[in-house]
Amino acid sequence: MKSWLTEEREAHLLGLLRVAFSILLLLLTVRMAREAWPDRYFGDIFHMPLLPQGFVLGQRAYCALLALQALGSVLALLGVLARPALLMASLCGLYGFFCDRLHYHNNRYELLLLTLLVSLTPCDRSFLLFGGTRLGTAPRWAARLVGAQLVIVYLASSLGKLFDADWRGGTVLLSRFALGKPFAEHYLGSGAVQLLSAPWFAQAAAIAAISSELFLAIGLWLPRTRVLCLWLGVMFHLGIELSARVELFSHTMLCGYLVFVTPELRERSLSWNARTSAGQMLGRLCARLDFLARFRHEQVDRQATLLVARDRAGTVHSGLSAWRELARATPLLFPLWLPLLLLTWRQRRGSTWR
C-alpha cells in the first residue's frame, strides 16, 4: 500500500487519458445541453432531485453550469490549466447530475467520477496544445484510483446480477434476446433464432457475462492476467456497444483501460524490411497507429522477413509471432491479439503474458 502511494512512473500516457476524458465529458455536456434546450429544462417540469429542492438550479443557473462544464472540458482538452479545468468540469457535471435523478444514467455517473479522478493525476505534462511536453516520472497513486473506480463498476454490476435469480438464471437475457430475433431471422437464419430462444443459451450467456465482469474486476490488477483481461474487456464492451444503446459507457470504460497500460514508453521494438514497399508502407502506418508509444520503429535493409519484433524482455519474434506482438501493443489491432496468440501458442511456450 505504501509503495502505491509513493510510486512514481512515466506520466506521458496520463496526458492521453486527460484528452480522452475531456472529449467524452464535452460530448456528455453537449448531450445534456440538447436535453435541456430550448424548453425542456428539467427544473420546469416533473423532476426528482437527489438534493433538497432548494438546491436545484434555475434554468439560467443550469445553463451557466453547463457552460462552465463545457469550458472546463475544452480547456482540459487543450491542456490549459488542464487539471483544475477538468476538476471544475466534473464537479459541475456532478452537481447538475444530482439535481434530477430521472436523468441518472450509470454511464454518465461513471464518466463524471472517472473524470474527477483523472484530474487528480499528473495528466498535465503531455498532449498539450500550448507548451512543451515534460517527460519524466510522476506520482502514480491517482491513476491507481482511476483503475479502482473501473473495478467498482464491474464489481457492483456483476454482484448485482449474481444475487438476482432472474439474471443468473438467464430470464433477463432471454427476454432481451427476444428483441433481437427479427434481426437474427433476417440476417443469420433460423438456427440463430432457435439459439436466441433457448433458455440454456440465455443462462450460459448470463453466466458468461457475470463471470467476465468478475474476472475483469480482479484480473486487471494481476500482471499475469492483465493483458487477457484487457482483451476480454475490449470484446465485452464492443459487444455491448453493438447490441445495446449505452451512450458513452463503452468509450468511457475503454478509455479508462489506459491506466492499466504499462506507463514506460518504447520498451519494445519493431523492425520492418525496408527493401520492400510493403515494409516501408506498413512501417509508416504502424508508427502512426502506435499512439501509446509502445515501440521503437526501425526500417532495416538486411532482414529476411517482413517484420521482426522485440518484446519488453528482449526476446526476438518473427513471422506470426511478430504480428502477435504488434497486435498486443497497438490499440486498433488489439482484438487480433488473442487469435494470433492461439495460432502461435506452441512458439511462445516458456514466455509469460506479462
Partner 1 sequence: MVVFFGLELAGIAWGQRTPDHTLGFQMFNESSRLTIHLFREVKRKNRRVLVPLPDGRWQAPDAAGQLRDYSWHDRVRYFPLNTLGVSVHARYGLAGQLFHLQAALDDLMRHIPDDTTTLAIVADVETIQNGVPGDRVRLRANRQ
**Which residues are near partner 1 by CB under 8 A?**
40, 45-46, 48, 50, 101-102, 104, 106, 109-110, 113, 116-117, 145, 148, 152-153, 156-157, 160-161, 164, 166-167, 171-176, 178, 244, 246, 249
Q: Which residue in the block uniquely carries the three cell numbers 459487444?
A: 239
Q: How far is the CB of 185 from partner 1 (least distance, A)?
A: 18
Spatial CA neighbour of 28 closest among 130, 142, 112, 137: 112
Complex with partner 1: residue 31 or 40, whichever CB lies closer: 40
CB of 106 to partner 1, least distance (A): 5
- Shortest CB 29 distance to partner 1, Å: 20
Closest CB to partner 1 among residues 75, 253:
253
Q: Are 336 and 289 in contact (CB under 8 A)?
A: no
For partner 1, the closer of residues 183 and 353 by Cβ is 183
Farthest CA pair distance, the chain: 74
**CB of 118 closer than 8 Å to CB of 140:** no
Is the separation of the CB atoms in 139 and 118 below 8 Å? no
Residue 116: CB minimum distance to partner 1, A = 8
Among 93, 113, 115, 134, smallest CA distance to 18 is for: 115
d(CA 312, CA 306): 20
CB of 143 to partner 1, least distance (A): 13
Cell of 203: 443462462
Q: Which position has the grid cell 504480428?
A: 323
Closer to partner 1 by Cβ: residue 214 or 320:
214
Our measurement of the distance from residue 247's CA atom to the centroid of its chain's CA atoms, rounded to an integer in Å, reads: 14
Residues 6+ apart with CB under 8 A from 331: 289, 291, 292
Smallest gap from residue 117 Cβ to partner 1 (A): 8
Instruction: Please compute, for residue 38, the number of CA atoms within 13 A of its CA located in the half-sphere on the CB side.
Output: 0
Nearest CB to partner 1, comparing residues 172 and 261: 172
- Between 178 and 281, CB nearer to partner 1: 178
Task: Rank residues 47 and 297 by Cβ distance to partner 1 and give the closer one.
Answer: 47
Contact by Cβ (8 Å): 305, 279: no
Closest approach of Cβ 89 to partner 1, in Å? 17
